Amino acid sequence: MSVNLIDLIKGQLGPATISQAASQFGESESSISTAVSGLIPAVVGAMAHNADNSSVIDAVMAAPKQGFLGNLLGNASTPVLGGIISTLFGGKMNDLVSSVSSFAGVKNDTVNSLLGAVTGATFGTLGKYAADNNMDRNQVSGILRDQRGIISSILPAGLSLAGLGLGNVFGNQTTTTQTTNTMNNNQDTRKDEQVNVNRTGHTHVDQGKKPNNIWKWLLPLLALGILAWWLLNKNKTKDVVTNSDTVTTVQKDGDTTKAQTTVTQTTATIDKSKTTEVDVNGKKIKGYEGGFESKLVSFLSSKGYDNAADDNALKSTWYDFDNVNFEMGKTDKLLPGSETQLQNLAEILKAYPNTKIRIGGYTDNVGDKDANKKISQGRADFIKAELIKLGVPAAQINGAEGYGSEFAKVPATASDAERASDRKMAIRLAK
């Protein structure tokens, strides 16, 4: 099964790290997030380009011992990490720093420090993942090669990294140019064909109408249209979080109560480069703009929960976590950064002590259905236990259930990145 390294890294660089970096470097959180959004594909792209470079693989395998994940914002001064960055970018590092600095509107020194943090998070996360899963060097190389197909899709619009000399990992940046060139070639061909037709005398053309002149303005418009479509769809690939609206009906079968659940999925784009402060009864917590915390607190503060007559009025809406992720195949090991969102949920529940929730776990379509259900149940139970450890009364958690791949929508044959929308944890409010 392929691994989406981007998702693993983002767990390390959540709102808390962004906020800390902004304070440390004297930049805005928005600018820091924008810079990080450009550095992540740059670093992963460079690693993918060097997937067969033995020194890069050595660095990944040795990363758990280097403690890169322990002090992300102090990584810039680490000699070992400095050598790794030099290997990845060589003489192009200044070009990278300058490009990201201009793109994000932050100082070059800030980008240098963030480059160390992102590189440390990337090597540390992959190294830990490889160690936890007993991977050998060839498997690590395979993971890096797999990233080549997704790098260009997360590159922010307006940031060009094609000049870094990383082969074709950012190859789709040339798509628009190639399309325009092809159109121009086609235009020349049509002109030649028109001349040939006129010369043969088989077809009469009214010279006063100049039919070929239409291409002088139509082709540029088509090129601009394709460019706009490409940029629009490129932006839409940025961190899409799928929200599930779940409607549950209860059926009586003798003495047995069966819950039949129907899930209708809708999608909402969460831009993880934008964080915000959410006011929880006077206490501020960090979350993504329009994300899990914002939606939940908005409903609770509007008295939506208090005004709900019963559980039936609440069961149609689920709130997907947008930053709680488990290690592959694990039920009791969260990816770094996930704890922050669980802490946020605990704070929200404490602020609204009359509120009850149910926890749901979901997997994608890959693997045995029974095993998937067991994994999702274990994860739901784990989150319940963690919330209780964080001080949430057990009475506020009305249940935890794993649905496995029962409601997965993406085919098992799809890419790992596409199936990610089916792998999630969620809660709904309950009475």
Q: Give the pair of three-digit tokens for residue 390.
A: 């964080």
Distance CA 105, CA 108 (A): 9
H or E segment and range at residue 19: helix 15-25
The helix/strand/coil state of 190 is helix
Q: What are the backbone angles phi and psi of residue 162, rounded to the nearest 5°?
A: -65, -20
Q: Give the pair of three-digit tokens for residue 57.
A: 């693989």
Q: CB within 8 A of 167, min separation 6: which ones?
A: 49
Q: 25: closest CA among 117, 161, 92?
A: 117
What domains appear along the chain, each with residue ranges and CATH number? 5-168 (no CATH), 174-236 (no CATH), 240-430 (3.30.1330.60)
Using N-to-C axis directions, what is the helix angle for 29-49 and 137-146, rounded to 10°? 120
Query: Where in 323-393 does DSSP place strands (E)?
Result: 356-362
Q: What is the pLDDT of residue 299?
A: 94
Q: What is the pLDDT of residue 167?
A: 64
Q: Give the pair of three-digit tokens for residue 418.
A: 């596409």
Q: Give the pair of three-digit tokens for residue 236.
A: 């839409």
Distance CA 369, CA 392 (A): 32
Q: What is the pLDDT of residue 374?
A: 94
Strand bridging mode 319-320 / 424-430: antiparallel
Q: What is the pLDDT of residue 367?
A: 85
CA angle 31, 34, 40 (to 5 degrees): 135
Distance CA 46, CA 42 (A): 6
Q: CB within 8 A of 79, min separation 6: which ones?
A: none
Sheet holding 397-404, edge to edge: 319-320, 424-430, 356-362, 397-404
Q: CB within 8 A of 165, min separation 6: which ones?
A: 90, 92
CB 358 within 8 A of CB 427: yes
For tokens 């007993």, name the residue.
Answer: 134
Q: What is the pLDDT of residue 398?
A: 94
For tokens 């791949």, name the residue.
Answer: 405
Distance CA 308, CA 302 (A): 11
Q: What is the pLDDT of residue 214?
A: 54
- Mean pLDDT per 10-residue segment, the chain (431 residues): 69 78 86 87 86 90 79 66 84 85 88 86 87 88 81 70 66 40 42 40 40 55 63 44 34 33 42 83 90 94 91 91 86 87 96 96 90 94 96 95 92 83 93 93
CB 425 within 8 A of CB 400: no
Q: 119: closest CA among 189, 178, 190, 45?
A: 45
Instruction: Return the CA Rg of the chain.
Output: 26
Q: What are the backbone angles phi and psi of residue 39, rounded to the nearest 5°?
A: -75, -35
Distance CA 315, CA 395 (A): 18
